[in-house]
Structure 1
């Protein structure tokens, strides 16, 4: 799959421009094993890069003209790198323009280039194709024009590009995982300080399978904003009653339970999920370190029920997919992944039964919702990198 993507991207470049690309880069999508909705709640997250990529074929130009070619969309955008950059009506181009704008804001010297890109990261499935695009462009510019950016700077540039040119107020996790990913490693990341550690993630006889529900409910943005407001209100009440609490990280479940009546049912549920999810992250790291995949699966499943019942960011389709998966003896853990209200579930399945589980869920989902389920068997891969031609 990776080799085919690279070959197709190279061939498309050569066909369009009658000469081979000088450089090839790969930038991966990402998953989050556990630690959902903790990036803005001062908890740790546990993301990893995956073997779904955007491939970039690129050559420098002798002038200041830039040509961007989105192979999968059959679309092209041309501009001059010396002109002021601003968002346009092509969203795919805005992710790239946003990165270039950030580089120019730092007074870094850029020249013209020709870029063709193609992807195996499913769009809209919550696997951060936008972060892969941003980070791949930042990495390519850094390499082509010797900008001497650190990986952390590239991740921050990608995040800022999304804020300013795509209008999405995302956290740093997606870009960080795309740039810093390592094969068979998860990243324990503090989204506040950007302190991070690598931990082993060997799934041995198990396979990670993503089920794409192919639904995206419209209240994703409003629901996300509501949750942020609710946990902020809750934390303020907790701090007022327990002055030693500085964030959810040093708040205990006992404190939340003691304030149940004061918080009110909804805010209590939101805060309870957050403190429970924060506690699950180190347990998940310990389970992975010991190769105890069954225990990891149990923790992931608990996360799903927390997201569904306490944080209320799931939806009927996601709950159905998780319940159906957990009904199979070969599935040791399943949960919704990402912001919620649609997207993918992540499942831990015995390798030899992965295909039969995929077939069963595909059939059940079609019968229940008349939607064609998409399934992806994935591996944990290295982050954004140069691919030798």
Structure 2
């Protein structure tokens, strides 16, 4: 898949510009093993880069003219690097323009360039194709024009580009995973301080399987904003009763249980999920350290239960996909991944069992919802990189 992607992107560049590209870059999508909806609640997340990529074929120009070619969309956008860059109606171009404008504002000098890019990251499946695009461009510009940026700089520039040019107020996890990814390792990331540790995730006899529900319910944004308000209210109530609590990180389950009536049913459920999810990430890190994949699987399933019943960000289709594998002997654990209300479930399964499982669940899902299921086997890979033949 990777070789084919590189070959097709390179060939398209040669056809478009009658020359070979100077450089080839790869920028990966990401998964999150555990730690959902805690990035804005002072928790930790556990993302990893995966072997689904955006490939960039790039050459420098002698002038200030830039040409962007989105091969998969059969679309092209041209501009002058010396002009002030502003968001446009073409959303894919905004992710790139946002990064370039950030670099310009920081005083970096760049000349024109030509880019062709193509992707194997499924769109809309919650695997962060936008972060891969932003970070791939940041990484490529850094190499192309010797800007001296650190990996952290590239991730933060990508995040700010999404805020300013795409209008999405995202956290740092996606960009961080795309840049800092390491083969067979997950990152335990503190989204507040950006401190991180790698944990070995060589699954050996097991593999990660994503089942894409092919649905995206519209209340993702509104639901997300409401959840943020509910947990903020909950935390303020907890602080009134327990002044030693600064964040959810030093709040205990027993404190939340003690305030069940005071918090009210909904806010209690939200806070109970957050406190337990922060704890589950710590336990997942231990499980990975000990290669205890059965425990990791159980923690993933517990997370889904919390996301569905307490945080209430799942949906009927995703609940169906998670429930459908719970009694399969080859599945160690499964959960909804990402913001919720659609997208993918992530499943930890025995190697070699994937095809049968996909076939079985696809048929059941089609019968229940009349929707075609998509499935992706993924491996944990390294972050953005320069491809060398």
> What TM-score does the superposition give when structure 2 sets the normalisation length?
1.00
| Equivalent in the alignment of 2:367 | 367
In 2: Cα distance, 1:224 partner to 1:80 partner: 37
SS in 2 for 1:352: coil
| Equivalent in the alignment of 1:208 | 208
Any residues of structure 2 matched to 1:66-145 within 5 Å, and which?
66-145=66-145
Query: How big is each residue's C-alpha offset from its partner over 1:91-110, in whole Å with a ceiling of 9 and x where there is no partner?
Result: 00000000000000101011
In 2: Cα distance, 1:371 partner to 1:139 partner: 38
Query: How big is each residue's C-alpha offset from its partner over 1:236-256, in whole Å with a ceiling of 9 and x where there is no partner?
Result: 000011000000000000000
- 1:327 is displaced (CA, Å) by 2.5
In 2: Cα distance, 1:254 partner to 1:327 partner: 31
SS in 2 for 1:245: coil
In 1: Cα distance, 2:138 partner to 2:325 partner: 38
Structure 1's consecutive aligned runs of 4 or more residues displaced over 4 angstroms after TM superposition are none
In 1: Cα distance, 2:229 partner to 2:331 partner: 35
Query: How big is each residue's C-alpha offset from its partner over 1:343-375, in whole Å with a ceiling of 9 and x where there is no partner?
Result: 000001111211100111111111111111000
SS in 1 for 2:371: coil
- 1:63 is displaced (CA, Å) by 0.2
In 2: Cα distance, 1:368 partner to 1:236 partner: 42
5+ residue gaps in structure 1?
none
Query: How big is each residue's C-alpha offset from its partner over 1:196-238, in whole Å with a ceiling of 9 and x where there is no partner?
Result: 0111001111110000100000000000000000000000000
SS in 1 for 2:244: coil
SS in 2 for 1:21: coil
In 2: Cα distance, 1:28 partner to 1:49 partner: 6
In 2: Cα distance, 1:379 partner to 1:247 partner: 34
| Equivalent in the alignment of 1:265 | 265
In 2: Cα distance, 1:42 partner to 1:228 partner: 12
Query: How big is each residue's C-alpha offset from its partner over 1:1-26, in whole Å with a ceiling of 9 and x where there is no partner?
Result: 00000000000000111111010000
1:243 aligns with 2:253: no
Any residues of structure 2 matched to 1:343-382 within 5 Å, and which?
343-382=343-382
| Equivalent in the alignment of 1:230 | 230
| Equivalent in the alignment of 2:279 | 279
In 2: Cα distance, 1:108 partner to 1:194 partner: 24
Query: How big is each residue's C-alpha offset from its partner over 1:169-189, in whole Å with a ceiling of 9 and x where there is no partner?
Result: 000000000000000000010
In 1: Cα distance, 2:297 partner to 2:328 partner: 13
SS in 1 for 2:386: strand
- 1:28 is displaced (CA, Å) by 0.2
| Equivalent in the alignment of 2:305 | 305
Number of residues of Structure 1 aligned to a counterpart in Structure 2: 389
1:55 aligns with 2:55: yes
Query: How big is each residue's C-alpha offset from its partner over 1:74-125, in whole Å with a ceiling of 9 and x where there is no partner?
Result: 0000000000100001000000000000000101011100000000000010
- 1:328 is displaced (CA, Å) by 1.3
1:8 aligns with 2:8: yes
In 2: Cα distance, 1:62 partner to 1:111 partner: 7
| Equivalent in the alignment of 1:218 | 218
- 1:282 is displaced (CA, Å) by 1.2
5+ residue gaps in structure 2?
none
Query: How big is each residue's C-alpha offset from its partner over 1:238-277, in whole Å with a ceiling of 9 and x where there is no partner?
Result: 0011000000000000000000000000000000000000
In 1: Cα distance, 2:377 partner to 2:137 partner: 26
In 2: Cα distance, 1:20 partner to 1:324 partner: 49
**Relative to structure 2, which stretch is displaced further, 97-106 or 285-294?**
285-294
